[in-house]
Structure 1
Amino acid sequence: MTPSITAGQRFHADTLVADAHNDLLMLVARRPPQRWATYFRDVWYPQLRAGGVDLQVLPVFIDHEFRPEGALRESLRMVEAAHRIAEGNPDLVALCRTGAEIDATIGSGRIALVLALEGCPQIDTDVELLQTFARLGVRIVSFTHFGRTALADGSGEDSTGGRLTRAGVEALALLESLGVAIDVSHLGATGVDHVLELATQPVIATHSCSRSVHDHHRNLSDAHIRGIAATGGLICVNLYAGYLTTEAPTLDHVVAHIERVTELAGPTKVGIGADFVADLFAEKVPPCDRPLIIEGTNTELLIPGLEGPSGLPLVSEALLTAGHHENDVRRIAGANLARFLGATHH
């Protein structure tokens, strides 16, 4: 018997859905190049479609085994993988560089893919390479992950009080001149302050939660959330359980973070940056290291039903159940991110 579709699921299916963070390129690039397009079509496209995804940001994240020597080469492999996904599946997706391309792709019923850099280990102090990546289609850049790069300190280094380095300041100015968005997710708290001091263009947090709801260094303070919104920017709430709560995670915790960000930033400045990790950990973490414990937390705890993109309708349904207006839920589910990328990337 086919399970009945709820009103919330029907609503979600009729809504533009955008996700600001899915690390699927890491898994694509593990395959032989001749399989990149088919692997995406067979494994990831069905999940994205089941979740109603119309716009997917694809971060280029370089794992520790490639840093520092292989970072640039692996980055280029992942960028090439994204291009081959699009070229091999032109009826399903398109790699988009501009807002007009995003709109046209979604309008044609395909999924718009947008490239991002996460962490910048491949750049070091060669800031001019950011222009190279922009030429290749990168539209969003973050300077750090948990640790330190040549551009800034990550949130795991908050005790250093580090601002952007001289190269980081140069990188920010270059990216703004190119119309590439600055992403402050993973950036240390003082670094976020520095970005907000310097930014003349809208800033995005692609996958961050509220620190006042759950006090984790990866989450944004109330002041930072207000500051990002004041740039005309966007805060995309992370669905990763470790940043939501220390309790058994539920959809109520997701709603609590979305509500706090909405309260501070307004309903036009909130999105979703899912950061699904189940497939990634299942393939990349050896059995002897499972479950993966980081900073004393079991990083593999998942919200039931939110193991991957197909669970995204649950978020819309939970927001509607919590009493949020349909227009606001549509904004949060994807319209805000689509608008941000369209306005930022002409």
Structure 2
Amino acid sequence: MPHELHCRSVVADTHNDLLCSVVARPPDVWSHYFRDNWLPQLKAGGVNLQVLPAFIEDPYRPEGALRRTLRMIEAGHRIAEGNPNDVSICLTGTEVDSAVDAGKIALILALESAPGVGEDVELLETLHRLGIRVASLAHFGRTALADGSGEDATGSRLTRAGVRAVAEMERMGMMFDVSHLGASGVEHVLELATRPIIATHSSARALRDHHRNLTDQQLRGIAATGGVVCVNFLGSFLHPEEYTLEKLLDHIEHIAAVVGVEHVGLGPDFMEEVIADTTPPCCEGIIVEGMPWRSYIPGLEGPAGLPLVTEGLLGRGWSNHEVTSVLGESVLRLFRNELGRPASAGG
């Protein structure tokens, strides 16, 4: 029963940094590497829609950030061009539906933190032309647009350039992502937003008091825009010590209880393989923001484990409709209505 439901459900993953792994290799193998290494995992997990963020590592910031961003966007396009029967980069909700209906994985290109933009907000339109359809303005630290959640003590709202960025994104139909944004920045965006927003990989602060998680008030604010909160699977964001499926399910259930299943999705943030590909062996015990990054839920280290979520929710008495909403229907509906739709098209 769980396997059957998972196989016939739309499964959407709104945050996988696999592009970091892809660009760690020579460009002439990008599409092959994806096909041989990541595509089988995505298919095993039943993934139908995959958001691919361009995350720019510290050594490339700030001088090399834009070049690195463009390289990752190029990698995304080469992946699609080299695997046309399996994946398709989608610019609109209509294209997402068409890809899923054709049995392909719909790929959505995104920006995580957008360090390559700086104060030059007009570059968001350039990146939109290249296929970017989701973007956030900060990571853990400070950017020219906003402060990340690691800087919550500053109490900072968006900068003037950040306010312009929100307006530009809404105009173009580029979805605003509040994951990683500082608490005051989230509140500022909720004041400014006239279109639905998304949290691509955030969990519940009521269950785990970590700055990367969202308060119940913030959850309600996102839902009030018509947006979706996609739950992060990284163990350290779920519990200080217990990295288990049960703790993940607790966060999914809590957020669903606060805002309803129609506003809940999955943003796993699978990091094990990405870190193995991009972190030197000397740094295997890496600690960031006081927490270990290698805090993975057994069985959910990668996309192939996603059926465990379906099994777990059904085991807790969830209905088929509730499960399919969280697996992907909520995100699919949001993207169908908003992705790539310019403000002049209505709303």
How would you bin the TM-score normalised by the shorter chain?
over 0.9
- Residues 221-271 of structure 1, C-alpha deviation per residue, up to 9 Å, x if partnerless? 110000000000000000111100012211111111011111111110000
Secondary structure at the residue paired with 1:148? coil
Amino acid at match of 1:126: D
Partner of residue 335, structure 1: 329
The separation in 2 between residues aligned to 1:126 and 1:339, in whole angstroms, is 32
- My pick for the range that moved more, 163-172 or 11-20, is 11-20
Q: Return the match for 2:37 from 21, 40, 43.
A: 43
Counterpart of 1:235 (choices 221, 229, 233) is: 229
Secondary structure at 1:56 match in 2: strand
1:306 counterpart residue number: 300
Find the aligned partners of 1:300 and 1:25 in 2 and give their Cα distance. Answer: 19
Tell me the matched-pair count. Answer: 340
Mapped to 2, the partners of 1:179 and 1:296 lie a distance apart of: 36
CA distance in 2, matches of 1:132, 1:290: 37
Cα distance in 2, alignment partners of residues 75 and 56 from structure 1: 18
Identity percentage of aligned residues:
55
Match of 2:49, SS? strand
TM-score if structure 1 supplies the norm length? Answer: 0.97
2:81 counterpart letter in structure 1: E
Q: TM-score, normalized by length of structure 2?
A: 0.97
CA distance in 2, matches of 1:178, 1:290: 41
Question: Which residue does the alignment assign to 1:226?
Answer: 220
Report the residue type matching 1:61 in the other structure: F
Answer yes or no: is the 8 Å Cα contact 2:73–2:130 preserved in 1: yes
SS in 2 for 1:140: strand
What is the Cα deviation at residue 294 of structure 1? 2.1
In 1: Cα distance, 2:274 partner to 2:88 partner: 23
SS in 1 for 2:209: coil
Query: 2:186 & 2:206 partners in 1: Cα distance?
Result: 16
The answer for the alignment partner of 1:3 in structure 2 is: none
**Paired residue for 2:309?**
315
User: Where do 1:113-132 residues align within 5 Å?
Assistant: 113-132=107-126
Other structure's SS at 2:198 match: strand
Residue 149 of structure 2 is matched in structure 1 by 155
Q: What stretches of structure 1 move > 4 A for 4+ residues in a row?
A: none
What's the offset of the Cα at 1:316?
A: 1.0
SS of structure 2 residue aligned to 1:113: strand
Could you give the per-residue CA deviations for residues 11-41 of structure 1, whole angstroms, max 9, x where no partner exists?
Answer: 2111110000000011111111111111110
- Contact 2:24 2:277 survives alignment (8 Å): no
Unpaired stretches in structure 1, ≥5 consecutive residues: 1-6
Q: Distance in 2 between matches of 1:320 and 1:103?
A: 26
- Which of these residues, 208, 213, 220, is aligned with residue 207 of structure 2? 213
The SS at the match of 2:254 is helix
Unaligned runs of 5+ in 2: 342-347
What residue number does 2:257 align with? 263
Q: What is the distance in 2 between the residues matched to 1:74 and 1:266?
A: 38
Question: 5 Å matches for 1:32-181?
Answer: 32-181=26-175
CA distance in structure 2 between the partners assigned to 1:53 and 1:295 by the alignment? 30
CA–CA separation in structure 1 for the residues paired with 2:237 and 2:196: 24
State how far apart, in whole Å, the 2-side matches of 1:226 and 1:43 are: 38
CA offset at residue 153 of structure 1?
0.2
Secondary structure of the equivalent of 2:306? helix
